[in-house]
A and B are shown apart, each in its own frame.
Chain A
Amino acid sequence: MSGHPSTYEPKYAAEKWLDQRLPIIRMGADFMTFPSPRNLNYWWTFGGILTLCLMTQILSGIILAMHYVPNVDMAFESVQRIKRDVPFGWMLQPLHAVGASMFFLAVYMHMFRALYYGSYKAPRELLWIIGCLIYLIMMATAFLGYTLPWGQMSFWGATVITGFFGAVPFVGETLQQWLLGGYAVNNATLNRFFALHYLLPFVIAALVGLHVWALHHVGQNNPIGVTPKTKSDTLSFHPFYTIKDAFALVVFLLIFAFFLFYLPDSLGHADNYIEANALQTPAHIVPEWYFLPFYAILRAVPDKLLGILLMIGAIVVLFILPWLDSSKVRSMRFRPVAKWFFLIFLVFCFLLGWCGAETPDNYVFKLGDVGLTFYRLSQISTIYYFAYFLIILPILGLVEKPLIRPESITKSVLGSKAHVPAAAE
């Protein structure tokens, strides 16, 4: 899997026997000695964190499936039973629910890292696209999973999201009813959502395999975006980055544990403690926090189909980003203008999230008769979101004068001492 010369040497007869037939230990050994840029910072630790997140979700999910009943009459009760009666269920159910939030927190950090340091640029386009695909399937999985506890938000969230398919011209209603297995969200819907929610994490795991394979083929990007040239530009993955990843992981787990043990419900919605009711919509429907920016984009236009297209477009634009950004310079450390546009982009992403959580007609602020509604703010933010990808990045690469980049990673790390022969290695 790794694209560097193998240094593994089997010691024992059994190892040799295995190595000639299935070089699986070699694969693991090469993984651990993978030459990684020596200047990776903590933004590069989210890959390991995300791997742990996926494993946590799969393990806790399999456990929950042993107690959960995917039937409209029993689903809500069975989840409450897990929380109250099943041994350690009080911890295992929130582990899965809080775990989903933590998974998204980490994936957003990972993605913003890639955006800032240009990790999507050649030769990492496919690596980035596989990542986008993982993110897309993560969203589908999270949505399907949120339906399962069969609370009010579960039910109405499922109704609204499957309603998107109803907006497809001509075949919309047929398509929607085919997905639901009925005229509205019903028992058949819950059953299939459960089956798919169980399936998709394994698809994600397979894609993660491709993601890591592609990563090890092209090598990691790094904070200065300069490709490693000599041996002194890299360090063995183990022990240098296993230790760094482990430290970041512990910090991440502290945050995880804080939410899990002290605020397990803070990231969810109180209405999901009310059993699904097909005759009453909650007064204020909001998705989980990690979908809020997209929800704000959906509501930014007063037209159903256009709103959906914009929301889908907000994700599609990520897939084609490698070809939108015209700059050859990867890291924004050396892009004095792009850096600021990126920061503004970051601010607007948070503003979109805020708009998604608020009622559109409410005011962000009001001075006398004039004020800014969340509706207007979501429109401004949506425009910037798309402009960043479709106008700013394509043009900026052509007009911006990048700063001078260091010749090598070693030079950038050691400065004037870099001329010392690489004996220090």
Chain B
Amino acid sequence: MSDAMTKTDAPQDETKRDFIFIATGAVAAAGAASLAWPLIAQMGKAADTLAAGSIEIDLSRIDEGQQVKMLWRGKPVFVRHRTPAEIAEAESTNLADCPDPAEDSSRLIPKADGSVDPRFLVMIGVCTHFGCIPLGEAGDFNGWYCPCHGSHYDTSGRVRKGPAPKNMEIPNYTYISDTVIKVG
């Protein structure tokens, strides 16, 4: 405080100084945050990764009891042509036995005409525990078995036993003809 300042001026000045101080700080903080955002966001998926297109799978080339594995967005997609016994097993499962209950039909995407083909099960072949790839035709439920931490999946790709919390994910796919699907 300078001696020239009157007593009534002093508190006003301090308020003004506080305001300037806070305002400057706020601008600096906003500036720092807006600079930090690009530094954080750069680590996300790049445009070319996002653009990683879709894949088409010809179902007619998969025989009954056979499974194909295709790489989509860095992850394997399982397409299994299920046997009648496997379908029956999947449909007759008591949902009370499933940690993540889902009807078998809810795990199949219908064709353009609204019908579902229960023969073809299309899933992202990644264990929902820590992302390992389960082995086919294995485990206690004749479906898949994850070798990493011992999760068992049934013939509908539903988790039945082990540490995995969810069923294997169903990717977004559409039937572009009667026998060809497009994933993604």
Task: Give the residues from 151 to 201 in chain A that come closer than 8 angstroms, CB to CB, to chain B.
Answer: 156, 159-160, 162-164, 166, 177-179, 181-186, 188, 192
Q: What distance in Å separates the Cβ of A356 from its nearest Cβ neighbour in chain B?
A: 12
Binds B, one of A119-127, A223-231, A273-281: A273-281
| Residue of B45, B129, B130 contacting most chain A CB atoms (<10 Å) | B130
Question: Looking at the complex, which one of A186, A281, A284, A299 makes contact with B163 (CB distance below 8 Å)?
Answer: A299
CA distance A125 to B43 in the complex (A): 36
Binds A, one of B27-35, B68-76, B81-89: B68-76
The answer to whether A302 has its CB under 8 Å from any CB of chain B is yes
Q: A281-B148, A303-B165, A361-B150 are in contact. Are A182 and B74 (CB under 8 A)?
A: yes
Q: A156-B132, A181-B49 are in contact. Are A279 and B71 (CB under 8 A)?
A: yes
Instruction: Tell me the A residues contacting B by CB distance below 8 Å.
Output: 156, 159-160, 162-164, 166, 177-179, 181-186, 188, 192, 278-285, 299, 301-305, 307, 359-361
Counted as pairs of residues, one from A and one from B, with CB atoms less than 8 Å apart, the total is 85
CA distance A177 to B43 in the complex (A): 9
Q: A181-B45, A278-B74, A279-B69 are in contact. Are A164 and B130 (CB under 8 A)?
A: yes
| Residue of B129, B148, B162, B164 contacting most chain A CB atoms (<10 Å) | B148
CA distance A184 to B75 in the complex (A): 6
Q: A182-B49, A186-B49 are in contact. Are A304 and B147 (CB under 8 A)?
A: no
B46 touching A360, Cβ below 8 Å: no
CA distance A401 to B14 in the complex (A): 61
Residue total for B at the interface (Cβ-Cβ under 8 A): 26
A304 touching B129, Cβ below 8 Å: yes
B117-157 vs A, Cβ < 8 Å mask (1 yes, 0 no):
00000000000011111000000000000111110000000
Chain B residues closer than 8 Å to A281, beta-carbon distance? 132-133, 146-148
Chain A residues closer than 8 Å to B146, beta-carbon distance? 281
Question: Looking at the complex, which one of B49, B69, B73, B131 makes contact with A159 (CB distance below 8 Å)?
Answer: B131
Chain B residues closer than 8 Å to A182, beta-carbon distance? 45-46, 49, 73-74
Chain B residues closer than 8 Å to A302, beta-carbon distance? 162-163
CA distance A273 to B163 in the complex (A): 29
B43 touching A178, Cβ below 8 Å: yes
11 residue pairs A–B, Cβ–Cβ below 8 Å: A162-B131, A178-B43, A179-B43, A181-B45, A183-B45, A183-B52, A186-B49, A280-B133, A281-B133, A299-B149, A304-B130
Q: What distance in Å separates the Cβ of B97 from its nearest Cβ neighbour in chain A?
A: 15
Q: A278-B71, A283-B147, A285-B148 are in contact. Are A160 and B49 (CB under 8 A)?
A: no
The answer to whether B53 has its CB under 8 Å from any CB of chain A is no
Q: What distance in Å separates the Cβ of B49 from its nearest Cβ neighbour in chain A?
A: 5
Given contacts A166-B131, A304-B130, 18 further A-B pairs with CB under 8 A are A160-B148, A163-B129, A163-B131, A166-B130, A181-B43, A182-B46, A183-B52, A183-B75, A186-B74, A188-B46, A279-B71, A281-B146, A285-B132, A285-B147, A285-B148, A299-B149, A301-B163, A359-B150
Q: A163-B129, A178-B43 are in contact. Are A183 and B49 (CB under 8 A)?
A: yes
A192 touching B130, Cβ below 8 Å: no
Q: What distance in Å separates the Cβ of B73 from its nearest Cβ neighbour in chain A?
A: 4
CA distance A284 to B132 in the complex (A): 11
From B70, which residue of chain A is reached at the shortest CB distance?
A279
The answer to whether B44 has its CB under 8 Å from any CB of chain A is yes
The 8 A-B residue pairs with the shortest CB-CB distance, nearest first, are A184-B74, A163-B130, A183-B73, A160-B130, A281-B132, A281-B133, A163-B131, A159-B131
CA distance A280 to B52 in the complex (A): 21
CA distance A302 to B130 in the complex (A): 13
Q: What distance in Å separates the Cβ of A300 from its nearest Cβ neighbour in chain B?
A: 10
Chain B residues closer than 8 Å to A160, beta-carbon distance? 130-132, 148
B45 touching A177, Cβ below 8 Å: yes
Chain A residues closer than 8 Å to B149, beta-carbon distance? 299, 360
Chain A residues closer than 8 Å to B162, beta-carbon distance? 302
Chain B residues closer than 8 Å to A179, beta-carbon distance? 43
CA distance A178 to B52 in the complex (A): 16
CA distance A183 to B43 in the complex (A): 12
Chain A residues closer than 8 Å to B46, beta-carbon distance? 181-182, 188
Chain B residues closer than 8 Å to A185, beta-carbon distance? 74
CA distance A404 to B82 in the complex (A): 75
Question: Looking at the complex, which one of A278, A359, A360 makes contact with B76 (CB distance below 8 Å)?
Answer: A278
From A282, which residue of chain B is reached at the shortest CB distance?
B147
CA distance A302 to B149 in the complex (A): 9
